[in-house]
């Protein structure tokens, strides 16, 4: 991770009241379950660990930080959850909806902090974002889908159709597609859907969708994220640009993307974990949408497709890949 970002976090922690020496005296046991490895979720996990380090927790000294990935398989996420609950850690952290759901279903006693979850209420992790009543709370990464549609329209003023590939088995993905339909309808834009139950299906689904749409929208769907290269390749073969719901997609060839800095989301998640380790009850920690978003542009990807990215987009971009 970039040193300035971590340095800023460390400085901020040093200036804050922080965690007391006595609270850090014993080893804090934090067990993390992540549904699949891809850049956005990996960044969230790295941010979480760095955020805990900034608060005075050191792996091997006063922190036992465990991590496992479910390799995109919800059944494995359930196995990981059961294993972790049996070990009785101080805090469980679920990165992405399926892993968070598995942890929440496995225990009513161990605190569960979720992060990078699109719709915590729809995923039945919490009933009320403002007042979690059980053992679960955390951060949502609900995508600004309406802004994504507006961005696609800004890139392609004559846009009439948007293609999307998603996993209907992921509650977060279903929510995003519903939001996409609502936003597209306001602009008179047709949505062309393709489904992929596993990563290996993404490219073939994208090939079909790309022939029927003007642009491909890549949502923050974990199945799509783990196969983003295949989706971009399919779109580009049809001469169609990809609009990303995560800025982590731009290095893979998405022309423009608007989304969270997932490292920062991880750092914000560390605030929840530290609060629980300090003895604060879940009921005092409202679930909320993470703060901050970035606009990224890949001009090389645009040039490959013969597209000119408007100055209005470039002027707002926080990151540009040439």
Cα gap 250→309, rounded to integer Å: 14
Q: Is 39 helix (H, G, I), strand (E, B) or coil?
A: helix
| Tens digit of each residue's pLDDT, the chain (322 residues) | 333 344 333 333 333 334 333 444 589 999 999 999 998 999 999 999 999 999 999 999 999 999 999 999 999 999 999 999 999 999 999 999 999 999 999 999 999 999 999 999 999 999 999 999 899 999 999 999 999 999 999 999 999 999 999 999 998 999 999 999 999 999 999 999 999 999 999 999 999 999 999 999 999 999 999 999 999 999 999 999 999 999 999 999 999 999 999 999 999 999 999 999 999 999 999 999 999 889 999 999 999 999 999 999 999 999 998 8
**Alpha-carbon distance values, 94 to 29, 87, 196 (Å):** 14, 16, 23
Cα gap 234→222, rounded to integer Å: 18
Structure tokens of 167? 């996993």
203's enclosing H/E stretch is helix 202-210
Structure tokens of 204? 């073939």
Radius of gyration of the chain (CA): 20
Tell me if the pTM is above 0.85. no
Taking only the tens place, the pLDDT of each residue in 221-264 is 999 999 999 999 999 999 999 999 999 999 999 999 999 999 99
Sign of the CA dihedral 71, 181, 262, 119? negative
Instruction: Name residue 29's beta-bridge partners.
Output: 64
Cα gap 223→197, rounded to integer Å: 7
């Amino acid at each position: 991770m970039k040193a300035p970002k971590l340095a800023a976090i460390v400085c901020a922690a040093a200036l804050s009241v922080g965690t007391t020496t006595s609270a850090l005296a014993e080893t804090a046991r934090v067990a993390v379950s992540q549904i699949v490895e891809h850049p956005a979720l990996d960044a969230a996990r790295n941010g979480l660990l760095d955020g805990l380090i900034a608060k005075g927790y050191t792996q091997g000294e006063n922190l036992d930080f465990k991590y496992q990935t479910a390799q995109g398989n919800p059944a494995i996420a359930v196995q990981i959850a059961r294993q972790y609950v049996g070990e009785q850690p101080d805090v469980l952290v679920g990165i992405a909806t399926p892993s968070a759901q598995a942890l929440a279903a496995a225990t009513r006693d161990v605190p569960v902090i979720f992060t990078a979850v699109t719709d915590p209420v729809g995923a039945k992790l919490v009933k009320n974002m403002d007042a979690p009543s059980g053992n679960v709370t955390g951060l949502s990464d609900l995508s600004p889908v309406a802004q994504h549609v507006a961005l696609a329209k800004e890139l392609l003023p004559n846009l009439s159709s948007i293609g999307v590939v998603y996993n209907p088995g992921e509650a977060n993905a279903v929510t995003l597609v519903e939001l996409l339909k609502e936003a597209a309808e306001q602009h008179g834009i047709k949505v062309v859907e393709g489904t992929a139950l596993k990563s290996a299906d993404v490219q073939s689904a994208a090939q079909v969708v790309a022939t029927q749409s003007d642009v491909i929208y890549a949502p923050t769907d974990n199945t799509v994220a783990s196969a983003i290269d295949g989706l971009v390749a399919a779109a580009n073969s049809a001469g169609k640009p990809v609009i990303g719901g995560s800025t982590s997609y731009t290095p893979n060839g998405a022309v423009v993307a608007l989304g969270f800095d997932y490292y920062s989301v991880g750092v914000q998640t560390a605030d929840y974990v530290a609060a629980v380790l300090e003895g604060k009850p879940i009921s005092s920690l409202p679930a909320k949408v993470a703060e901050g978003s970035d606009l990224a542009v890949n001009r090389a990807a645009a040039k490959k497709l013969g597209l000119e990215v408007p100055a209005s987009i470039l002027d707002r971009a926080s990151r540009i890949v040439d």
